[in-house]
Structure 1
Amino acid sequence: MSCTTSTPVPHVPCHVPAPPTKEELEYVDLAIVDLSKAATPEGRAQLATQVRDAMRDIGFLVVINHGYTQEQRDRIFDIADYTITHVSDEDKLKYEAKVLETGSYQGYKPPQFWHIDNGVLDRIEQYNINRNVTLREHPELLRPLLPEISEFGKHNHFNVCHLILRLLALGLELPEETFINLFNYDACGESSVTFMKYFSRSEEDEGKAKNVWFKGHTDLGGITILWSQPVSALQILLPDGKWRWVKHIDNSLVINVGDALEFLSGGYYRATIHRVVQPPLDQRGFTRLGVSYFSMPDDNVKLVPLTESPVLQREGVQRRFSDEESPIMEQWRKGRIVAYGKSELKKAEGNVEEEYIHGGLVKHYN
């Protein structure tokens, strides 16, 4: 049970998570980064090497000792479930995200919005809340919870994302603040707290979509922080061409690099393809509840490689665009958001589909 022993105010119903799967799955071996080690110079140097290698080789890692207690973690999952299941459909329509008109996910995204494969649409409901929770209005039921959601966003940004960005800068032999200066908290953009709930599909649709719930993709931003939850469904495409599962570790974070940070690092850090698939057999009676923080560079940041890095000067730069043609963050995020699950994709080799966003090749995997 995730229920806390105390009764937080305001009260929301307790979200009871699924038990972890007992099936034998082929898990990816991810680095486990203990953020408590950052308190000493020696620990910081060790973490910088560990984070650099993980984000270069795989593009994903796991974080523990991030400053949130188990009770605090459980509370935010209670709030996430409440946001999806207790707000009325009428209110959700009032606060629906105008994705195609604005290039933004802020608000509710209803199920059956994205095309997955062979005519099958997604079964994912989500609510995106800009880290500046006052930027737009929210359903009345959620307004008493906004201070907690705001503090949760701040914790993700300052206590986790900032530290990872510092370590990634050190990995490029750049000043610690290099990336942080591009990820200003007060710059609204699209950085957000996101609550997602995945609902089951018919067996017919599972077959048509090859059991894929969210097709293989890279994230579009800087750093994604996914709060681990027990329903196994997340898979990573490794360099050997195989998909492997991400193992749940309670009160841990799964962190990955997105497109923007790959561009800024000249390809040194990897925006890795990942997907969500139908859970193992012993978890199929449960819905999958996701809690994430998506951080992005400021909208006016031009996504060109930081060629002043001594590492990039030694090892070379991989460019997706010429410097002149590189988009700013606002252009890239809006282009990716509007196109995802809506655009006509070109079939490539195997199960790969392709499209171009601002002249940059984007691949999707079914």
Structure 2
Amino acid sequence: MDSPTVEDLPVLGDASLLAIDWARLKVNDEDERKKLLEAGENQGFFYLDLSSDDGFLQDWNAVLDLMEQYFHLDVDQKMKDHRMSDTHGYEPVATSSGAVKGRPDYYESLKASKDELSSRSSSLAPVIAENHELISRFCGTAHEVVMTILSSFGSALFPDGNSNFELFHSENKESLTTLSLFRYPKQETADVGVGHGKHTDLGTLTFLLCHQWGLQVLARNPGGWRFVAPKKNHAIINVGDTLRFLSGNRLCSAVHRVVPTQELQHEDRYSIAYFLRAENGVVFKDSVGRMTTAKSWHDEKFEVFRAPHEEQEKAPILTGGMERGESLVPV
């Protein structure tokens, strides 16, 4: 009898993720670092308690206000910011395959890369350029957080100092580190797309903020999807493919997706993701055993993300090989 596919697997309940205290981690608390390593090796997802940073929490709310204003503009107005890019500008709904076979996605996004923000590139959408101070400050804190986590992972995995993940993320080298703002619009009918399709993140670390339900991770024993409950003043951090590859597969990049909690998306859902990505020229062995660069992996993965579901199933690119074997989130 054939094993059930990912699409056939049930929703089991809520995921039990560890919570890391940002205030303790940034002062190199040894117990917090051990907990971080446990989360990275066993789950690839964890909460980060940001309660100690009032300034950032205020900026989070300010960015959400900005998103609500922007995404409720007419589509024609937003399409003026469409750059046909994976790192900057607007992207409308139904650009990629969604969470259900044969259906497109149902989210729209606005993006700005770290390099483009730093240089105040003319490619930035006007709403980003006009709010440059807020967006840059927000990204600066997010970048500090993920770089601290990256350093902590390196120290915990290689206490002898033989590996330094930060060396692959130089401030002086080009990368595709990107801020992405997402809205999953409220749905009135079922003849549209569904959510955000299953995948592993392609980069190093993802810093995710969302007050609403919808994110699910793929669990094992028993196999199925589990919701990641939103927690007040907490970010959700997950390991990406690049960090898994650079760690020699000691850290895991778990498969996840976004789906409506009811048959339709019953309210506008907003999420903010800061994707830390390695320098474009960093080389690693990918999920099919090839030596590739961080930029090539990024570009190929986005191509597969936009492909029909039937094409996505042909090679372990979209999910980074993580559906094959035991490397799913334990429960």
TM-score, normalization: structure 2? 0.82
Question: Is 1:81 aligned to 2:68, yes or no?
Answer: yes
* Unpaired runs of at least 5, structure 2: 1-11, 325-331
SS of aligned partner of 1:79: helix
Choose from 306, 310, 315 the match for 1:355.
315
User: In 2, are the aligned partners of 1:355 and 1:362 still within 8 Å (CA)?
Assistant: no
Structure 1 residue 61 corresponds to structure 2 residue 46: yes
1:272 is displaced (CA, Å) by 0.2
Other-structure match for 1:26: 13
Match of 2:114 in 1: 131
* 1:247-258 map, 5 Å: 247-258=229-240
| Aligned position for 1:313 | none
CA shift for structure 1 position 177:
7.9
Structure 2 counterparts to residues 252-331 of structure 1, below 5 A: 252-280=234-262, 284-304=265-285, 320=287, 322=289, 325-331=290-296
Measure how far apart 1:274 and its partner are.
0.6
SS in 2 for 1:115: coil
Letter of the aligned partner of 1:190 in structure 2? Answer: L
Between the aligned partners of 1:75 and 1:81, the Cα distance in structure 2 is 10
Find the partner of 1:242 among 224, 238, 241: 224
Kept in 1, the 8 Å contact 2:87–2:113? The answer is no
- Aligned identity (percent) is 21
Structure 1 runs of 4+ aligned residues shifted over 6 Å read none
TM-score, normalisation: structure 1 = 0.75
* 1:91-102 matches, cutoff 5 A: 91-99=77-85
* Alignment partners' CA distance in 1, 2:162 and 2:72: 41
User: Do the aligned residues in 2 keep the contact of 1:28 with 1:236 (CA within 8 Å)?
Assistant: yes
| Cα displacement string for residues 225-265 of structure 1 (whole angstroms, at most 9, x for unaligned residues) | 10131x21111111221211111111210000111111111
Q: 1:83-122 maps to which residues of 2 (within 5 A)?
A: 83-86=70-73, 88-99=74-85, 104-116=86-98, 117-122=100-105
Q: Is the 8 A contact 2:209 2:235 kept in 1?
A: yes
Counterpart code for 2:71: I
Of the three residues 135, 154, 170, the one matched with 2:140 is: 154
How far apart are residue 106 of structure 1 and its match? 1.9
Provide the rounded CA distance (Å) in 2 between the counterparts of 1:176 and 1:72: 37
Per the TM alignment, residue 205 of structure 1 is displaced from its structure 2 partner at its CA by 4.1
Structure 2 match to 1:219: 201
Give the aligned CA root-mean-square deviation in angstroms: 2.9
Moved more, 245-254 or 129-138: 129-138
Letter of the 1:189 partner, please give it: S
Instruction: Give structure 1 stretches of 5+ with no counterpart.
Output: 1-24, 305-318, 348-352
Counterpart Cα distance in 2 of 1:201 and 1:91: 20
| Secondary structure at 1:333 match in 2 | helix
Q: 3-state DSSP class of the match of 1:75?
A: helix
Query: 1:144 deviation in Å?
Result: 2.1
Tell me if structure 2 keeps the 8 A contact 1:59–1:271.
yes
1:228–1:251 contact (8 Å) kept in structure 2? no
The residue number in structure 2 matching 1:232 is 213
- Work out the number of aligned pairs and report it: 305
Residues 161-200 of structure 1 mapped to structure 2, 5 A cutoff = 161-174=146-159, 175=161, 178-200=164-186
SS at match of 1:120: coil
The Cα of 1:301 is off from its aligned counterpart by 0.5
Distance 1:213 1:289 in 2: 12
Which AA in structure 2 matches 1:80?
A: M
Q: State the secondary structure of the residue aligned to 2:292.
A: coil
Deviations 1:140-169 (A, max 9, x none): 3443201211111111112x1011101110
Measured after TM superposition, the shift of residue 80 of structure 1 is 2.3
Distance 1:141-1:161 versus aligned 2 partners, 3 A rule: closer
Letter in 2 for 1:143: A
- SS of the residue 2:278 aligns to: coil
Measure, in 1, the Cα distance between the counterparts of 2:280 and 2:174.
Answer: 8
Amino acid at match of 2:292: P
Deviation, 1:115, is 2.4
Shift of 1:320: 3.4
Cα separation, 2, equivalents of 1:258 and 1:296: 9
Q: What secondary structure does 1:63 align onto?
A: strand
Cα displacement (A) at 1:71: 2.3
Contact 1:157 1:185 in 2 (8 A): no
Deviations 1:88-116 (A, max 9, x none): 534433321324xxxx3421111111122
Q: Is the 8 A contact 2:185 2:265 kept in 1?
A: no
Select 2:300's aligned residue among 335, 346, 355.
335
Structure 1 CA distance for aligned equivalents of residues 179 and 245 of structure 2: 23
